Amino acid sequence: MRTQYLAATQEAIAHAAKLIQDGQVVGFPTETVYGLGANALSDSAVRAIFAAKERPADNPLIVHIAEFEEMAPLCEINDRARRLADAFWPGPLTMILPKKAIVPQVVTAGLDSVAVRMPSHPVARALIRQSGLPIAAPSANRSGRPSPTLAQHVLEDMDGRIPLILDGGACDVGVESTVVSLLGEVATVLRPGGITPEMIAAVLGQAMVADSVMRPLKEGEAAPSPGMKHKHYAPRAHMTLYEGKREHVAARICREYDENGGHALILAGTGNLPLYGSRCCYDLGPDAASAAHRLFAALRTADERQVLRVYSEAFPEEGVGLAVMNRMARAAGFDIVRV
């Protein structure tokens, strides 16, 4: 299959919408990461997503909508869902609610619940509107690779596997949406993202964070969100996270880097770069929000340069820092060193 790569003009979006109506899979930008979209109501279209991504069939997809009214046919809405939608939609928040029959089993990997999100990116919204369909879309990376935050990343992973990629530039947030389950008594964050647990608690009065967010699942433990049990976001190099006082972290990373002969990449905050001298660094920016924006590109850069090791500074697990650390910890296979 030849993959068309088009700037996301009106014309290109119209073409993409036709492909979606036709049961095909399209790469498109959202404000979080690029998605791999298809008609969420078509069994065969959704299967084509799993095939293109080589995604395990037991990992369910998020259904994307453009208007709040499009939610009711898909799931049982409750009051908390309404309040969260009011506060954060369109935007980087995905809600888990009991599914309705119209959603094919293949979308939810057989679960009774469905994940729904209303993205804010204008291209994503136009694509959903013009196709007239809810769009099932996982991140547009091949399974196990870092999520794509540029159309070029989608091309790297999907060339020859899908008919079209819409280029809408760099994604704003840079990490995937916050996934919050509204199935239990208390709203529970299963995957942290741009909408923080603090922000959700401010709207609902309370919110929990699943403890598997910052630790590996134990042998045989059921994952609250199936995505958590799969290896994720991994660069090909071995990655280690270092937490502690910044001078101590930098000194330790420099030592490891030098002992390994330098075939390595250091991920560091802008203010800390001078601590690493002329060693090869990737600038994660001045704060956690910019680290979220740059992290996946950093991991892909490590792959491109074929480094053997990635050494990264840790971030405080507060605000969007929790999402950054959740992704970093998984990329590092939970190899976290306290300095």
Q: Which residues are at the interface with ligand TXA (CB under 6 A)?
A: 30, 32-33, 35, 59-62, 94, 96, 108, 111, 113-115, 117, 119, 137-139, 176-177, 179, 190-191, 225-227
Q: How many whole angstroms separate alpha carbon 219 and alpha carbon 222? A: 9
CB nearest ligand TXA: which residue? 227
- Angstrom distance (rounded) from CA 309 to CA 322: 23
**Which does residue 130 bind out of ligand TXA, Mg ion, none, counting CB within 5 to 8 angstroms by kind?**
none
Q: Which amino acid is at 197?
A: P
- Minimum distance of Mg ion from residue 59's CB (angstroms): 8
Q: Which of 169, 168, 187 lies closest to 178, judged by CA?
A: 187
Output 113 or 212, the one with its CB closest to ligand TXA: 113
- For residue 266, which phi and psi values (nearest 5 degrees)? -105, 125
> Residue 61: which of ligand TXA, Mg ion, none does it interact with, CB under 5 to 8 A by kind?
ligand TXA
Least Å from the CB of residue 155 to Mg ion: 17
- Looking at the Cβ atoms of 234 and 308, the one nearer to ligand TXA is 234
* Closer of 189 and 264 to ligand TXA (Cβ): 189
Q: Which residue number, 269 or 319, has a Cβ lying nearer to ligand TXA? A: 319
Stretch of 6-14, 135-143, 235-243, 295-303 contacting Mg ion, by CB under 5 A: 135-143
Among 139, 178, 188, 272, binds Mg ion (CB under 5 A): 139
**Is residue 225 part of the contact set for Mg ion (CB under 5 A)?**
no
Closer CB to ligand TXA, 249 or 325, in the complex? 325
Provide the minimum distance between the beta carbon of 63 and ligand TXA in the complex, in angstroms, as a whole number. 9
What is the Cα 136 distance to its own chain's centre?
Answer: 14
Cα gap 83→203, rounded to integer Å: 7
What is the nearest approach in angstroms of ligand TXA to the Cβ of residue 305? 25
Whose Cβ is closer to ligand TXA: residue 103's or residue 253's? Answer: 103
Measured from the CB of residue 137, what is the shortest distance to ligand TXA in angstroms? 5
Q: Should residue 178 be labelled a site residue for Mg ion when binding is judged by CB under 5 A?
A: no
In whole angstroms, the minimum distance from the beta carbon of 270 to Mg ion comes to 27
Closer CB to ligand TXA, 122 or 244, in the complex? 122
Find the shortest distance in angstroms from Cβ 139 to Mg ion: 3
- Structural tokens at position 218: 């134990």
Angle at 21 between CA 18 and CA 27, to 5 degrees: 70
Q: Is 131 in the site for Mg ion (CB under 5 A)?
A: no
39 binds, among ligand TXA, Mg ion, none (CB under 5 to 8 A by kind): none
- The residue type of 299 is L
* CA nearest neighbour of 196 among 291, 288, 320, 293: 320
Q: Does 326 bind Mg ion (CB under 5 A)?
A: no
Q: Which residues bind Mg ion (CB under 5 A)?
A: 139
